[in-house]
Amino acid sequence: MKQKRFFLSESEIPTQWYNIQADMPNKPMPLKNPKTGEAMKAEDLFPIFAQECSRQELDQTHKWIDIPEKVREMYTYYRSTPLVRAYGLEEALGTPAHIYFKNESVSPVGSHKLNSAIAQAYYCKQEGVTNVTTETGAGQWGTALSYAAKVFGLEAAVYQVKISYEQKPYRRNMMQVFGAQVTPSPSMSTRAGKDILTATPNHNGSLGTAISEAVELARTTPNCKYTLGSVMSHVSLHQTVIGLEAEKQMEMAGEYPDEIIACFGGGSNFAGLAFPFMRHIFSGERKGTRFIAAEPASCPKLTKGRFMYDFGDEAGYTPMLPMFTLGHKFAPANIHAGGLRYHGAGVIVSQLLKDGFMEAIDVDQIETFDAGMLFARTEGIVPAPESCHAIAATIRRAKECRETGESKVLLFNLTGHGLMDMSAYNQYLAGNLMNYSMSEDDVTASLMKQNMI
Amino acid sequence: MKQKRFFLSESEIPTQWYNIQADMPNKPMPLKNPKTGEAMKAEDLFPIFAQECSRQELDQTHKWIDIPEKVREMYTYYRSTPLVRAYGLEEALGTPAHIYFKNESVSPVGSHKLNSAIAQAYYCKQEGVTNVTTETGAGQWGTALSYAAKVFGLEAAVYQVKISYEQKPYRRNMMQVFGAQVTPSPSMSTRAGKDILTATPNHNGSLGTAISEAVELARTTPNCKYTLGSVMSHVSLHQTVIGLEAEKQMEMAGEYPDEIIACFGGGSNFAGLAFPFMRHIFSGERKGTRFIAAEPASCPKLTKGRFMYDFGDEAGYTPMLPMFTLGHKFAPANIHAGGLRYHGAGVIVSQLLKDGFMEAIDVDQIETFDAGMLFARTEGIVPAPESCHAIAATIRRAKECRETGESKVLLFNLTGHGLMDMSAYNQYLAGNLMNYSMSEDDVTASLMKQNMI
């Protein structure tokens, strides 16, 4: 019988994260203080983030960073996650491609987000922090942070993008089960929220607005730190446990991926799977591996956005980040992949895209659910709407292999399950889902309206 | 670092199921034809069930039954499931007990039900059946059957208990994602449904009523077979893959369970975990292992029901089964553990309880959710309301160990996750959950009202 799933023993779970910044030929440009225009130092980030996370954020020197023993112990609650050969999907597609996926949906909270939540909550606890706050879109990051906070005895306050708060009540309940306080964003409880709601009544919220609220809470509350589920370089660092495991597991399967595919919101799951494999490109050990980020056609920052300095949040509380962006006041369409409704890309990924180490494609909503349905019916796992983007991109590539007859090895990241998103599938089945793609002209018009160009 | 999870390699996944009937000192009494009073033969079951399932149902001879290769291949999609040491829960309880759980919630459909769904769908396909039908309570069995039917190219029609259909729309959506037709039961689409709805308008439904509808559909539709998620002996047989795996995994952990604990609806998850361990009691190889079934206090067939011949369904379409029962017209309270809202116990388990090989306890709803909350916050997994019964029973036992100082080894079955049941947790958090325990007198009164005694 052909082997379906590959696991590592607990002793094989990585002991270090991979810091790609140390290896990049062109380092990311610095984060800048919006008032002075000066490059930020780690200390400048201490008021917002845990100190260790702040240091990791700007570390361009250390290639390997030790995973604290307690973090690694919590990883054993669900890691290694399985690497899975998608025989069912391959058969349905009639493709000669070998399709593998890293199944991060098996984490207790249902997504890869826990990999960084545990690390961030751990560092906060170590540094004497008592309260953590964050934003969440679809709720995957918020759930992860809520559980991680509970593990380390921290209080958690989560601002959830309002449209997701309403669309996905089960996610909110799950955060509450883990003991977190959940507030729909924009809310009237922060200055940022009030400003947004006065300027735009009935604002649906976005990750950008929720970040503003959480950052404000962290800044104005003693002993409270902000945590982030993507975009930042230290989050990507923590997520490299995915790719490091996958590398060993692909070896167990006796193959090496030709193409590595992940969905793209802020970049952390893409980074987590791709970066460890990309290090062999930097070292010259491997050539030709393709790294493909799949973003929503309604939020096409990588394929149609501009590389420039921009804020990470709507209110402009964060440092200026050098990134591909649609503008920090961009309000994404209400697609179900709430975790991908973000205007910018992390600084590392932005640099890598500029330097041609990776590529990006955009996929419209209905194609992503077509892909998710096929995956559910062939592999049995109902995927998160975010993950459906990676599946759709993989299916496109697998179909190309069917045309060319190539047995390429495709590896994608199944970031999470869609069990909290069944209402989205319900809409799909009822034929009520919509597409929302943006053209180059739409993006230009939006950037002009925001006075970004 | 202490090992948290234990997996088997795919080659170690059992190749045979364990048929406890061959080993029982007192065999289960026969199923009887309600009209003639005669013992049923396998052929008598062919009109309803797949032939191979019918033969397995009455097989008291073959101790080991081969798992078909294709079924075993589908098992590799999620098996082995992990055996997990609940360090987090142990620490929170301050107990010297060693708590293990078999995590069946990692199956693609979120519960152990898939173990039998795959087998039943496979046999149907082999025998040329094109349509399958079934009932479902909370939706776990219905989801499993829907997916298994899709895998083997069968059409599935599922009658879902109305109260669950309304409480858990995500479950219904999930069945639809897998391509099944879902109807709330009692419905007006069958004779049985019409009779029930005319006698009791606004009937909330129960597994008993839904079974009647599904059996009727199977009987009146050419090439359509009925499948069942619990109660029947062939279902328990398929579930023994759980205990057979757990036995090998406990060996990896270097321990042997003193007490084996499972929640109880019709008996299949209890059987699946317990029977393989019980065979060492029959053989005399082991002594003193306790087998504990945890049932809802609102549906206490094992602790307060009567052993007698009764129907498996409300309308009286099934054979007469010798079992502990609350009467086939018993309407259980609307607890969230929909999968445990069933009036009777499988015939094997009933015989084992009578013969003193196992014991039963009942737990009220709020205690089960207290347990589920603690489990979620310490182990990270939100458990299904059904599984919360096993957790509550385990916590009781672990607290006793804390009193006595004994380091007992407790093993329970985590049958499923509760991600589709977040509204129940929401009610718990809001303080709106109720208890519904039945006294001996309540049970007697109910049986008298049904003319059963």
Cβ separation of A419 and B373 shorter than 8 Å? no
Q: Model-level pTM greater than 0.90? A: yes
Question: Touching check for A270 and chain B: CB below 8 Å?
Answer: no
Q: Where are the alpha helices (DSSP H) in A152-308?
A: 162-167, 169-177, 191-199, 207-220, 233-253, 268-282, 301-304
* pLDDT for A126 beyond 90: yes
**pLDDT value for A315:** 86
pLDDT tens digits along A319-345: 999 999 999 999 889 899 988 999 999
* Residues on chain A touching B73 (C-beta within 8 angstroms): 1, 4
pLDDT tens digits along A49-103: 999 999 999 999 999 999 999 999 999 999 999 999 999 999 999 999 999 999 9
- Residue in A443, A148, A409 with CA at minimum distance from that of residue A307: A443
Cβ separation of B423 and A173 shorter than 8 Å? yes
pLDDT tens digits along B311-337: 998 888 899 999 999 999 998 898 999
Listed by number, the residues of chain A in 68-87 with a beta carbon closer than 8 Å to a beta carbon of chain B are 69, 72-73, 76-78
Alpha carbon separation from A438 to A198, A224, A365, A427, B101 (Å, rounded): 27, 38, 12, 22, 49
**pLDDT value for A338:** 86
**Burial category of B151 from C-beta neighbours within 10 Å (exposed 0-12, middle 13-18, buried 19 and up):** buried
* Residues on chain A touching B104 (C-beta within 8 angstroms): none
DSSP lists the bridge partners of residue A39 as A32
A–B CB contacts, 8 A cutoff, strictly below: 123
Instruction: Map A245-281 to HEC letters.
Output: HHHHHHHHHCCCCCEEEEECCCCHHHHHHHHHHHHHH
Residues 6+ apart with CB under 8 A from B157: B131, B132, B133, B134, B180, B181, B183, B214, B217
Mean pLDDT of A378-395: 97
**pLDDT value for A320:** 97
Question: Touching check for A100 and chain B: CB below 8 Å?
Answer: no
- C-alpha angle with apex B209: B206 to B210, nearest 5 degrees? 85
CA pair distance A250, A270, nearest whole angstrom: 17
Residues 6+ apart with CB under 8 A from A284: none
Write out residues in chain B with pLDDT < 50, as ranges: none
Question: How would you classify residue B405: left for phi > 0, otherwise alpha for psi between -120 and 50, otherwise beta?
Answer: left
**pLDDT value for B1:** 75
Phi, psi of A360 (to 5 degrees): -135, 145
pLDDT tens digits along B347-367: 999 999 999 999 999 999 999
H or E element, residue B224: strand B224-226
Q: What is the ipTM of this complex?
A: 0.94
Question: Touching check for A422 and chain B: CB below 8 Å?
Answer: yes
Question: Touching check for B106 and chain A: CB below 8 Å?
Answer: yes
**pLDDT value for A206:** 81
**Lookup: tokens for B112:** 């152990």
CA pair distance B275, A71, nearest whole angstrom: 37
**pLDDT value for B189:** 93
pLDDT tens digits along B118-158: 999 999 999 999 999 999 988 999 999 999 999 999 999 99
Question: Touching check for B381 and chain A: CB below 8 Å?
Answer: yes
Closest in B7, B73, B179 to A377, CB measured: B179
- C-alpha angle with apex A173: A168 to A178, nearest 5 degrees? 135
**pLDDT value for A21:** 98
Closest in B4, B73, B106 to A106, CB measured: B106
Question: Touching check for B3 and chain A: CB below 8 Å?
Answer: yes
**pLDDT value for A164:** 84
Which residue in A has a C-alpha nearest to residue B426's C-alpha? A173
pLDDT tens digits along A85-98: 999 999 999 999 99
**pLDDT value for A367:** 98
Residues 6+ apart with CB under 8 A from A36: none
CA pair distance B361, B302, nearest whole angstrom: 8
Cβ separation of A178 and B147 shorter than 8 Å? no
pLDDT band per the 50, 70, 90 thresholds, residue A136: very high
DSSP lists the bridge partners of residue B183 as B159
Question: Touching check for B153 and chain A: CB below 8 Å?
Answer: no
**pLDDT value for B154:** 98
**pLDDT value for B137:** 83
Which residue in B has a C-alpha nearest to residue A71's C-alpha? B1
Please give the mean pLDDT across all residues of chain A: 96
pLDDT tens digits along A287-323: 999 999 999 999 999 999 999 999 998 888 899 999 9
Is the dihedral angle over the CA atoms B197, B198, B200, B202 positive or is it negative?
positive
pLDDT tens digits along A210-226: 999 999 999 999 999 99
**pLDDT value for B379:** 96
Question: Touching check for A64 and chain B: CB below 8 Å?
Answer: no
Among A2, A3, A5, A423, pick the best mutation site for testing chain B contact (most B Cβ within 10 A): A5
* pLDDT for A28 beyond 90: yes
Question: Touching check for A373 and chain B: CB below 8 Å?
Answer: yes
Q: Where are the beta strands (DSSP E) in B11-126?
A: 16-18, 64-66, 83-85, 98-103
**pLDDT value for A77:** 96
Cβ separation of A376 and B177 shorter than 8 Å? yes
* pLDDT for A364 beyond 80: yes
* DSSP SS3 for A201: coil
How many CB atoms within 10 Å of residue B41?
Answer: 14
CA pair distance A72, A40, nearest whole angstrom: 30
- Please give, rounded to a whole number of angstroms, the shortest distance from the CA of B269 to a CA of chain A: 21
CA pair distance B207, A189, nearest whole angstrom: 47
**Lookup: tokens for B113:** 């039900």
CA pair distance B324, B301, nearest whole angstrom: 6
* pLDDT for A1 beyond 80: no
**pLDDT value for A209:** 85
**pLDDT value for B114:** 98
Mean pLDDT of A236-247: 98
